[in-house]
Amino acid sequence: MRRRDFILLGSAAAWPLPARAQRTAMPVIGVLFSSAGEHALTPLNSGVFTELQRLGWVNGKNAIYELRFSAGDPSRWPGLATDLVDRKANVIFASGGAAKAAQIATGTIPIVALSNDMEESGLVASIARPERNITGVSIFGSELDEKRLELLMEMVPAARRVAALVESKTRASVARVAANVHRLGIELVLIEAPSLDKLDSALNAVATAKVDAVNVLTCAILYNGRRAIIDRMAASRLPAIYQWPEYLAEGALMGTAQLKL
C-alpha cells in the first residue's frame, strides 16, 4: 500500500473503490479537531475534507465521517478519542494535541496527525520512520511565526514595542519569537487569548499595551476569531501580521500565503 493511501484512508484504502462502494458497512473516517464545530475549521483541517471529496470519498455515499470537536477544551480529547475507537473508525485524523489523545486511545487504528512538529511533540520517533500506527505532517508553525515577526519589522522598521498575540498551546512559537527580540532590537509583549470567549479581553489588552505592531501567532483559536482581531487592529490603527490568506481576504494588512503542493 502506498503511504499516500494510508494518509487518506488508512487500512480502508487497500480495498478497490468499487468494492468499497458496494459494501453495506461503509468505512468510517474519524475526525478529531479542537475547533468549536465544522464551521470553525482551519484551512488545513477543511482541506482534508476537500481532498477526500476530490478523490471520490463522499460522506454518506461510500464513507461515513464521524466528526468530534473539543470546542477548544483539551480536557475533552481523551473521551472524544475513545468515542471514535468505540465507533470502530477505520482511520482517525487528528490535529494538534488531539493526535496524542488518539495515540493513547488506540494502538491499532491508523492515525493521521497534523502537528506543529511531529518529532518534537513525541508523536513519532522520526518522520522517515514514524513506527506504530501513526503518521502525518509537520507544519512547523512556530518557525513561520518567527519569520512573520521579521517580515513585520521590515514593514514597520520604526516599531520598538511589539505584541505577540498568543494562545496557551503556542509555547514553541513564543520561544522562537522571543529568541529574536534582542537581534531585532525590540521589546516583546506577550498577550494571551486562552479561548474564544476571552479573545475580547486579550484584544483590549493589546489596545492598551502601547505597542507599535502585532504578530498574531498560529493557532485555531486566533484563526476562528480572525474577524474580531482584524476589526480591532484596524480600529486601533495597529499594523499586524497574520497566519493564513483568509485574513488578507477579510481586510488584514499582512499575512502569509497558503502553498498548493
Residue 220 has what pLDDT?
72
Q: What does the pLDDT read at residue 230?
A: 87
Q: What is the pLDDT of residue 45?
A: 56
- Pairing relationship of beta strands 28-33 and 64-69 according to DSSP bridges: parallel
Strand partners, 31: 67, 93
Q: Which pLDDT does position 12 carry in this prediction?
A: 40
Write down the pLDDT at residue 52.
82
Residue-wise pLDDT tens digits, 71-116: 767 788 899 999 999 999 999 999 878 899 999 999 999 999 988 7
Please give the share of the chain, as a percent, with pLDDT higher than 70. 76
- Residue 116 φ/ψ region, left for φ over 0, alpha for ψ in the -120 to 50 degree band, beta for the rest: alpha
For 91, counting Cβ atoms within 10 Å of its Cβ (0-12 exposed, 13-18 middle, 19+ buried), the class is: buried
Q: pLDDT of 23-66, one tens digit each?
A: 458 999 998 876 654 445 554 556 677 888 888 888 889 999 89
In this prediction, residue 86 carries a pLDDT of: 96
**Cα 223 from chain centroid (whole Å):** 9
Residue positions counted in the chain: 261
Domains of the chain (ranges; CATH) run 3-138 (3.40.50.2300), 141-249 (3.40.50.2300)
